[in-house]
Amino acid sequence: MERFDRTVATGMPTPMHLTEEELGWVDWQLTLPGFGLEKQYKLKSSTALVSRVGGVGSPAAASLAMAGIGRLILAHGGHVEPFHMNRWPLASTEQIGRVNPAVSAAERIRKLNPHVEVVAVPEFVSPENVQRLVAQADIVVDGAPYFEERHLLNRECVRQKKPMVEAAAAGMEGFVTTVIPGETPCIQCLGFHSKDWSLPFPILGAVSGTVANLAALEAIKVLTGYGEPLRGILLFLDGVSSSFRRIKVRRNPACPVCGDRP
Amino acid sequence: MTRGDIAYRAPPGPLLSQEQSERYSRQINLDEIGPRGQARLLRSKVAIVGAGGLGSPTAIYLAAAGVGTIGLIDADRVDRSNLHRQPLHFDHRVGRLKVRSGSCHLKSLNPDINVEEHPVRLSSENALEILCGYDVIVNGSDNFPTRYLVNDACVMLGKPLVDASILRWEGRLSVFMPGQGCYRCLFPNPPAPGTIPSCAEGGVVGAVAGVLGTMQALETIKVLLGVDGVLSDRTLVMDALAGCFRIIRWHRRLNCPACGEVRAIRKLIDYELFCGVPGSATAAGHSPIPNMTLRGGPVATSKVDAASAVQWLGDPDVLWIDVRESWEFKKGRVPGSRLIPLHDLSVKMDQIPRHRTIVSVCRTGHRSGVAVEILRGAGRDKAFSMDGGLLGWENHGYPLEHENASESAS
């Protein structure tokens, strides 16, 4: 492992947490200018909670696993259903009606990268489990279709001061933004409401998958401190024209969740 | 391509089976698709050149959307170092042929589709024969000879080509529709000898390949459906570190040797020779500056690193062009550099002298690489892209010029 020796020689922390096999795994990532072992180690020592491993959550979780995150907690209730299959790249057809989505995604992610610890929580984020789930994570990736669930997670992330990547897709559109409590607007400030999208809204896998990978990139940037996350910026994807818009968003000082006097 | 180009025969009975109606229900209710569009996807055939970082997500999302036949073209076997960016392949399939590994995964995602395995390296001898059976071709190849080969073959066959490339945290995506320009209109010349990409040296992030590969699937689906909004005569450029996307408009070149008025390229050529791959006859280097190797598309021909470039500061023969946006330029730039945002470059070409040495600069070295392609295409042969961009420059502690101190601090 030439790279391994070189970094030891340059006085970097000895990467005791990465085995030689893992180093071979992320070899092409370590050659990124300015990325290197230090950032890789930050990823390795991080835990991400992914709420719902559907069209947005499952590819985001897979990309985080491939990038070498240490631990993933996947929360999703119910079973894999046939109508999920047009946008869930980790589910397989024989699991339909039988297997829980979190279990299905965890199984597939362990095969994608066996060095990642994957915890499958076969339930949706709820008022009962939200505090416990968020407490275990360094970052939260939110891919829930219901805004009640998103607001619940948002309140808990703000309370525990955990960064949260908000990603959603519906129809041919989607958006991504990163919430850093106390610094950026939270999703309450943005004023999203469930009535904006009624289920079952149409959705194309290639749109949710694009948003998902952007969400994974956000999580990687926040966890490693490399690059500029979408702080206070909503990145909108219009899949019809394949164009993006960056929209600046501001904190609401009177926000009941993250405002100055909550 | 119009709707009429894909032969469509109405089947007897319903368009979709009960099972298909259920599986694709969430996309059938999109205005762009509907039952007819879904039936069209199920009848379509798409070839993917390269089952790697870009090809993996493309294949997965085409399979999930129910594109009836997917052809995977790749001669390689799965290597462990592939896995951080190629979700089509799994750890337990290391050592197997990529087309076989990919086919297994796609069939488990969607048994409703057919996967054709082509475990071959695409060449001038087999390209036309393999690609002619498909409606749309997706290019996820990692080398320039294959990129030009696939382009020329698609022009000759009149097939739409969806083409993306990635480098580090960045990438670009275009669609080349027959008659509306091709890859050679955008990048007439391959990168200078010695710059043939090495994936390992440039570095890649899996999720960047994920974004671009998934968007390749999106564009392919739009082309198959015949809807408006396809990225033809436009190029999407992504900078994932900044979370920025830009669209660059371009035009078909009437003098393009592949798709222009007079077509100089009438049969497939030796692309390794054309791209000057070491070992072939044209491989003698001509650039005075040692080139870096890159991965992905022709995002740069010749580069100069910050340590060499800094010695040109103040040299009256050297023209520094900053190709970023004006708001970025105001925050800090190389002293004496001139602002010409990338999207204005072609329009302002007459303001750029032909025989000066030009250093193009952007934030990371990606946009400036695209700029050098454009500059060299317009005969500015001494144009170089500053490797690592302003970030690298700043990292070395080299001088920056600011509009005013308060703005630079923001």
* pLDDT tens, per residue, chain A with 262 residues: 333 333 333 444 444 467 777 877 777 787 777 787 888 899 999 999 999 999 999 999 999 999 999 999 999 999 999 999 999 999 999 999 999 999 999 999 999 899 999 999 999 999 999 999 999 999 999 999 888 899 999 999 999 999 999 999 999 999 999 999 999 999 999 887 655 556 678 999 999 999 999 999 999 999 999 899 999 999 999 999 999 999 999 999 999 999 886 5
B92 CB neighbours in chain A (<8 A) are 111
- To the nearest whole Å, the CA of A156 is away from the closest chain B CA by 26
**Residue from the list A29, A176, A202 with its beta carbon closest to the beta carbon of B27:** A202
B169 CB neighbours in chain A (<8 A) are 32, 227
pLDDT, average across residues B220-240: 94
Query: What is residue A237's predicted lDDT score, i.e. its pLDDT?
Result: 97
- To the nearest whole Å, the CA of B381 is away from the closest chain A CA by 27
Q: Is B78 helix (H, G, I), strand (E, B) or coil?
A: coil
Q: Is residue B161 part of a domain?
A: yes
How many structural domains comprise chain A?
2
- Inter-chain CB proximity B204 and A32 less than 8 Å: yes
Same domain, residue pair A27 and A54: no
- To the nearest whole Å, the CA of B194 is away from the closest chain A CA by 19
Same domain, residue pair A153 and A31: no
A93 CB neighbours in chain B (<8 A) are 108-111
- Inter-chain CB proximity A217 and B240 less than 8 Å: yes
Same domain, residue pair B108 and B162: yes
Q: Is residue B242 part of a domain?
A: yes
B167 compared with A241, residue with greater pLDDT: A241
Same domain, residue pair A149 and A179: yes
- Inter-chain CB proximity A227 and B241 less than 8 Å: yes
Q: Give the chain B residue nearest A92 (alpha carbons).
A: B109
**Residue from the list A63, A86, A240 with its beta carbon closest to the beta carbon of B27:** A86
Q: How confident is the model at residue B405 (pLDDT cuts 50, 70, 90)?
A: very low
Residue B70, domain CATH: 3.40.50.720
Crossing angle between the packed helical segments A101-112 and A57-67, to the nearest 10 degrees? 30
Distance of alpha carbon B391 from the chain centroid: 24
Same domain, residue pair B168 and B232: yes
Q: Give the chain B residue nearest A211 (alpha carbons).
A: B211
Query: What is residue B370's predicted lDDT score, i.e. its pLDDT?
Result: 81
User: In sequence order, what are the residues at sequence separation of 6 or more whose Cβ sits closer than 8 angstroms to the Cβ of residue B325?
Assistant: B341
- Inter-chain CB proximity A86 and B26 less than 8 Å: yes
Which among A66, A95, A99, A235 is the top mutation candidate for probing chain B, defined by the most B β-carbons within 10 Å of its own β-carbon? A66
User: In sequence order, what are the residues at sequence separation of 6 or more whose Cβ sits closer than 8 angstroms to the Cβ of residue A122?
Assistant: A76, A77, A100, A102, A103
Query: What is residue A5's predicted lDDT score, i.e. its pLDDT?
Result: 38
**Residue from the list A24, A202, A206 with its beta carbon closest to the beta carbon of B217:** A206
Q: Cβ(B375)–Cβ(B360) under 8 Å?
A: yes
- To the nearest whole Å, the CA of B402 is away from the closest chain A CA by 21
Residue A187, domain CATH: 3.40.50.720
Q: Is residue B96 part of a domain?
A: yes
- Inter-chain CB proximity A86 and B169 less than 8 Å: no
Query: What is residue A71's predicted lDDT score, i.e. its pLDDT?
Result: 97
pLDDT for residue B300 is more than 60: no
- Inter-chain CB proximity A206 and B200 less than 8 Å: no
A226 CB neighbours in chain B (<8 A) are 241
**Residue from the list A82, A85, A210 with its beta carbon closest to the beta carbon of B214:** A210
Q: Is residue A232 part of a domain?
A: yes
Residues of B with catalytic roles: 199, 362
Q: Cβ(B208)–Cβ(B240) under 8 Å?
A: yes
Q: Is residue B284 part of a domain?
A: no
pLDDT for residue B305 is more than 90: no
B25 CB neighbours in chain A (<8 A) are 83, 200
Question: Which has the closest alpha carbon to A103: A71, A133, A127, A73?
Answer: A73
User: Distance (Å, rounded) from C-alpha A210 to C-alpha A212?
Assistant: 5
Q: Which of A141-145, B39-43, B388-392 has the lowest mean pLDDT?
A: B388-392
pLDDT, average across residues B137-166: 94
Main-chain dihedrals φ then ψ at residue A47, nearest 5 degrees:
-120, 135
Last residue of a domain, one of B271, B292, B327: B271
B61 compared with B376, residue with greater pLDDT: B61
- Cα–Cα distances (Å) from B95 to A112, B80, B339, in that order, read 15, 8, 50
- Inter-chain CB proximity A229 and B243 less than 8 Å: yes
Query: What is residue B402's predicted lDDT score, i.e. its pLDDT?
Result: 82
pLDDT for residue B1 is more than 90: no
Q: pLDDT digit string (tens) for B126-141?
A: 999 999 999 999 999 8
The domain in which residue B368 lies consists of: 300-409
Which among A213, A222, A244 is the top mutation candidate for probing chain B, defined by the most B β-carbons within 10 Å of its own β-carbon? A213
ipTM of the complex: 0.92
Query: What is residue A75's predicted lDDT score, i.e. its pLDDT?
Result: 98
Same domain, residue pair A180 and A69: yes
Same domain, residue pair B243 and B381: no
- To the nearest whole Å, the CA of A239 is away from the closest chain B CA by 8
How many structural domains comprise chain B?
2
Q: CA B58, B61, B66: angle at the middle one, nearest 5? A: 125
Same domain, residue pair B12 and B147: yes
Q: CA B179, B149, B300: angle at the middle one, nearest 5? A: 90
Same domain, residue pair B114 and B246: yes
- Say which amino acid occupies B393: W
Q: How confident is the model at residue B371 (pLDDT cuts 50, 70, 90)?
A: confident
Which among A175, A242, A249 is the top mutation candidate for probing chain B, defined by the most B β-carbons within 10 Å of its own β-carbon? A242
Q: Is residue A253 part of a domain?
A: no
Which among B25, B28, B29, B84 is the top mutation candidate for probing chain A, defined by the most A β-carbons within 10 Å of its own β-carbon? B84
Same domain, residue pair B117 and B177: yes
- Inter-chain CB proximity A242 and B219 less than 8 Å: yes
Question: Which has the closest alpha carbon to A129: A195, A33, A51, A181?
Answer: A51
- Inter-chain CB proximity B173 and A242 less than 8 Å: yes
Q: CA B401, B403, B409: angle at the middle one, nearest 5? A: 85
Q: Is B45 helix (H, G, I), strand (E, B) or coil?
A: strand
Same domain, residue pair A32 and A51: no
- To the nearest whole Å, the CA of B114 is away from the closest chain A CA by 15
- Inter-chain CB proximity B30 and A26 less than 8 Å: no
Predicted TM-score (pTM) of this structure: 0.78
The domain in which residue A72 lies consists of: 46-248
End-to-end Cα spacing for chain B: 48
Same domain, residue pair B190 and B43: yes
pLDDT, average across residues B113-117: 97
pLDDT, average across residues B155-171: 93
B328 compared with B46, residue with greater pLDDT: B46
pLDDT for residue B306 is more than 50: yes
Query: What is residue B7's predicted lDDT score, i.e. its pLDDT?
Result: 60
B110 CB neighbours in chain A (<8 A) are 85, 93
Percent of chain B residues past pLDDT 90, beyond the cut = 52
Q: Is residue A163 part of a domain?
A: yes
- To the nearest whole Å, the CA of A128 is away from the closest chain B CA by 30
B227 CB neighbours in chain A (<8 A) are 240
Q: CA B321, B326, B328: angle at the middle one, nearest 5? A: 90
Last residue of a domain, one of B252, B271, B290: B271
**Residue from the list B25, B207, B219 with its beta carbon closest to the beta carbon of A220:** B207
- Cα–Cα distances (Å) from B229 to A56, A243, B218, in that order, read 23, 9, 11
